[in-house]
Amino acid sequence: MPEQRNRYIVLTRTVEETEFVGPFAQSARKQGVLQSLLHKAFPMGAQIAVTSSPVDEGMAVLELTDKQVSAFEAANVSVPLHPVRTYRLAAVDLDRVLAAGAPFDFGGVTGTSGRPFKIKVCDSNGRPIAGVPVTLKEPGIDDLRVAETNSRGRTTIASATGQAEYIRVAPFSDYWAELRRGITSARGAVSFSLQSLTPATADCLKYHCSQALCPDSGQPEPLKIKVAVIDTGIDEHRDLANVTERTSFTQADEDDDLGDNGTGHGTHVAGIIGANGVARGLAPNAEILSFRVFERNSGLTDTTYVYDGIKAAIDAGVDVINLSLGQEYEDAVLQVAIEDAEAAGILVVAASGNDGSDVPQYPAVYPSVVAVAALGRRGTFPASSVHAEHKPRAVGDDNADYVPDFSNWGKVDLAAPGVAVISTVGTAGYAAQDGTSMACPVVSGLAARLLAMSPELKGRPRGPERLAVLKALLYKQCKLLGFGAPDVGKGLPHMGGGTS
């Protein structure tokens, strides 16, 4: 049985040539640093897959067995091998949240074994809604059952128990997703009547940032600020004509597959930052650059893709980088890229994560990164919607404001709306989503707005000095709203509406 190989990154650009002595000094110059490192470790040769970064020749990925790792490290003591980390989107996976909770107590009510669930989905006027994903969780069964409504808004889902801990109905766009608990198939057809949503529907973002969302009538055209969205890609939505570049670093997808990867996540993030149409973002005059690092229909990526996205954003001369993603382990490779961004005067904003942990995820935890936690507000979504599943960990001076239990806390810098935030999806749709993924672009959008409009920042060249002033202005706007610093950092920036 062949030995398992794992992927490791070597940052050859950090290796000093003085480390090479004797014949290796010459080979380092002639063959390249990586080849010299490998020759030192494997003088008799070895079968090792090597992948180079398309945007940084100083980064390479090696696939090594444990024995090869030991040989490499023994021969190159001062050259670290960095494990490739797996990153995930910082949008809430509601099914994972529900699975971690206590099972529903049916109170002695039994189901009818083998009787399927018949489900009907319509709008508030009774019109059927086709193509709606329906998810059913049975007690004692880990695998979820998923189906889609037909043209009559109906679907049938087979059942082993006749009981559903929950049924979740989640259209891709234009309706509030709903969840119902403790259903038995013996009760007959289960009907859902979904409420519609539009860009004008009141949500947490509009409540807390209404001033920033108002059109700047009579104001001169502000400076174009570039914001990089390193995410799942951005679709050609009618409200996102200001997306000026689409690049994909994913390897498994077609070369011309540059839009959103099918999840809608990157398009939603971009709309919060800079939608400029029926929906309006916080920096509608910003220039948005999309760097796709998630393969089609996937919520997972790795260090190499995110690193390439950050390096490409630096090369493109962006002003703000939005990272609505993260993971739990230190990643020295990504930290190097982020330090390069900071040295260039770029603000890096990252989601704190959705694990309900007192330790934010990486890269948000790095000191130079602005780490963003989430805030919710009661009354900004229907009580029957999936968003009501998020319980408050802390409540503000206004009892309607709360920090949701999923939001990571501890070392966070700011908080922003992250429950039931409405934004763009697809090419013409709108949806409400939850997570520090949604809070993160609120701060990125406000930062872009400050860079374009603030007298203290306008005209300053991009660099560390401007970056320091930008951070100070962001933090100056913050209000704690009755929360503690571990939950919201310095607070929520740029108040508006009911909090002005």
- Give 433-447 pLDDT, tens digit per residue: 999 999 999 999 999
Q: Specify the CATH architecture of the domain 6-84.
A: 2-Layer Sandwich (3.30)
Predicted local distance difference test score (pLDDT) of residue 16? 62
* CB burial readout 415-447, b (16+ within 10 A) else e: bbbbbbbbbbbbeebbbbbbbbbbbbbbbbbbb
- Give 290-321 pLDDT, tens digit per residue: 999 999 999 999 999 999 999 999 999 999 99
- Domain residue extents for the chain: 6-84, 94-194, 204-499
For the annotated catalytic residues, the residue numbers are: 231, 265, 437
94-194 carries CATH number 2.60.40.10? yes
Please check whether residue 326 is in contact with residue 298, taking contact to mean a CB–CB distance below 8 angstroms: no
Mean pLDDT taken over the chain: 92
Same fold, 94-194 and 204-499: no
- Give 76-120 pLDDT, tens digit per residue: 999 999 999 999 999 999 998 888 888 888 887 777 778 999 999
Predicted local distance difference test score (pLDDT) of residue 216? 63
Name which of 231, 484, 259, 206 is nearest 351 in CA terms.
231
- Give 183-202 pLDDT, tens digit per residue: 999 888 999 999 999 999 99
Kindly report the CATH number that applies to the domain delimited by 204-499.
3.40.50.200
